[in-house]
Structures are given as structure tokens and as C-alpha cells.
Amino acid sequence: MRRWLRPWRWILCALLSGGATLAAEVMGARLLRSMLGSTSIAQTAAVSGVLLGLGAGAHLAGRALTRGAVTPRRLLVIAHLALGLFAALAPTLAYALAAPIARLLVGADAASPALGNTLRALVGLATTALPGALAGSAFPALVTAGGWRGGEGTAWVGAANSLGAAAAASLATFVLAPAVGVSWTVRLAGLTYAAVAAVAATSPPIPLSRNG
């Protein structure tokens, strides 16, 4: 088998993980809109929170993997099971919290528009940064599990992750959301996360390539 085909399971994980993350982010912004009261603010909050989480999660996971505090397979399984659970519960929680949070923000706006916008930013970060961090932890874990050396792993994982994200964003927006609704599209992203966990759990990490 050609060397680049050996880690195909981990490339598949990167593809599915990236797709689920962007689909959940795009649909999550729609769920946030019911709480924050503005499409543009909800989209900004979702993007900012997820990107912040992605960076922090990748950094922390990379350090943990370097120290040997966790194996890449274990990290991938735990992170994606947690993401799947979060996606499964997110629509129900969003609808349950929408009214009380909206009332809180209206009261804050009445006291000070700056206070209201600050609270909106905090709500957005609080609801998106943690799942973003869990998704970000996948990047260094996949590179390590795939047995790549140097930039090769970054190239393969980054390409697969980005391709999956681009495809899933369009699929979620133009096909799934009109067909089954926002809530079920988010839950389908959760099932995709669970599939990544299953693939990771049954795929042995590949020893580091000597020829990288």
C-alpha cells in the first residue's frame, strides 16, 4: 500500500470532523439568533467563539500530546463524543434559554446599549468557545495519529478538514436545513461527530514515518 494511503482512516476523520464543525457553526448561529436578537451579531459571535476555541484547543492538545499526557486516539474519541453530545442537546437548550436570555438582553439594552452588546458577546463566547476547543484538539491529534512527520501531516489534515468544512457548509445550508430544519441539521452534525469517534476508536495510530 502506498505510504500516503496508510493513514486514510485519519484523513477520513479530518474530513468528517471539519464538516461537522462548520455545519454546526453555521446552524448554531441560527440558534443563537433567537437569543441574541440579531442575525449579524449571532453570526459574529458564533464565528469568533469557534475560532477562539479552535486555536486554544489545538494549542492545549498539542502540548498534552507532546508531554504524553494523552494518546491521540483517546483524545479524538473523547472530544468527538463530547461534541456529539453537545450537538444533540444544543437545539433543546437553545430554545429553552432563548426567552430568558432575550429578556435579560432587552433589560441590559435599556440600561446601556454597550452593556447589552457586551452581554451578547459573552453569551456567544460562552456557548461556542468550548465546542470550538474540542474541535480544535482534533487537529494535532490527527496529525500525530496519522504518523506523519513535519509539514506532511499538517497538509493532509488541513486539506481534508477544509474540504469537509466547505462541503458541509453548503450541504447544511442549501439541502439539510430546508429539508429537515435547523435543529435536526445540528443533530446530524452530532451523529457525524459520533462517527468520527467510532472510526478513531477502531483505528490504531500509525508509527511516525521515518521518511516524512
Over residues 107-143, the pLDDT tens digits come to: 999 999 999 989 998 999 999 999 999 999 999 999 9
Q: How confident is the model at residue 1 (pLDDT cuts 50, 70, 90)?
A: very low
pLDDT digits (tens, 9 = 90+) for 20-36: 999 999 999 999 998 88
| pLDDT of residue 151 exceeding 80 | yes
Per-residue pLDDT at 209: 57
Start-to-end CA span in the chain (Å) = 16
Q: How many CA atoms lie within 13 A of 133 on its CB side?
A: 11
Classify residue 105 by burial, with Cβ atoms within 10 Å: 0-12, 13-18, 19+: buried
Predicted local confidence at residue 212, as pLDDT:
42
Predicted model pTM: 0.92
DSSP 3-state of 204: coil
Residue type at position 61: A
- Residue 20: the pLDDT is 98
Report angle CA 116, 124, 64 to the nearest 5 degrees: 140
- Name the amino acid, one letter, at 124: G
Q: What is the pLDDT of residues 62-121, one digit of tens each?
A: 999 999 999 999 999 999 999 999 999 999 999 999 999 999 999 999 999 999 989 998
Count Cβ atoms within 10 A of the Cβ of residue 80 and give its class: 0-12 exposed, 13-18 middle, 19 or more buried.
Answer: buried
Question: How many angstroms separate the CA atoms of 64 and 174, rounded?
Answer: 38
